[in-house]
Chain A
Amino acid sequence: NAGVTQTPKFRVLKTGQSMTLLCAQDMNHEYMYWYRQDPGMGLRLIHYSVGEGTTAKGEVPDGYNVSRLKKQNFLLGLESAAPSQTSVYFCASSPPREGSNTEAFFGQGTRLTVV
């Protein structure tokens, strides 16, 4: 009964370092999303995917890349971290918007600090 699992839960990076955040879901959902949460700004969509092998830009994609090589996994990469990327990152998944049972399921979040 894992749902959506994010790794790692916490990370501190130095400016210019790179890292990858992993999101895994076991609900066979087609859609997956990466959001960042900053104080007073709610959740902002970084990138999303509507199926294996597909990705699309969200509201704030600059400085991030993503890949969806397997349906159950959605990776978020930071090639050269900047202090402005200090945030809490949430992954979510959902079925397509058809029918009344659609909702987004969230992971527990990754708290990233860039110093």
Chain B
Amino acid sequence: GNSVTQMEGPVTLSEEAFLTINCTYTATGYPSLFWYVQYPGEGLQLLLKATKADDKGSNKGFEATYRKETTSFHLEKGSVQVSDSAVYFCALYGQNFVFGPGTRLSVLP
């Protein structure tokens, strides 16, 4: 079946540091790929998405590129802020939405 693997957290960074959260997937066909973010006490919110190979999703300074050849969708941000502290979930949509385990990010001032 379809599955998503993402790097284990927690990740702790200083403000303005560069962020990478790795995500790889296993799927039949050509799923759509997503990053969702969950702030404390809230539900998941869509951060960005890509629907086909080589598409780049971007939002709020975050980016991720759909790499079919490496089955990856790594999340990056050039300069993180304290307000980016949250849990980040990589997900794919094939037959259903399938989520990775989440990566907790803490950004220190």
Contacts and interface: CB of A to CB of B under 8 A. Distances in A.
Contacts of A40: 101
Contacts of B43: 4, 90, 106-109
Contacts, number: 52
A41 interface: yes
Contacts of B100: 42
Query: Chain B interface secondary structure, helix, strand, loop or mixed?
Result: strand
Contacts of A106: 36, 43-45
What class of interface size applies to chain B in its complex with A?
A: 20 to 34
A43 B89 contact: yes
Contacts of A103: 34, 46, 49
Contacts of A48: 96
Interface of B: 32, 34, 36, 42-46, 49, 51, 89, 91, 93-94, 96-102
B32 A102 contact: yes
Interface string A79-115: 0000000000010101001001011111111000000
A104 B93 contact: yes
A108 B42 contact: yes
A103 to B, nearest CB: 5
A74 interface: no
A92 B91 CA distance: 14
Contacts of A102: 32, 51, 93
Nearest to B98: A45
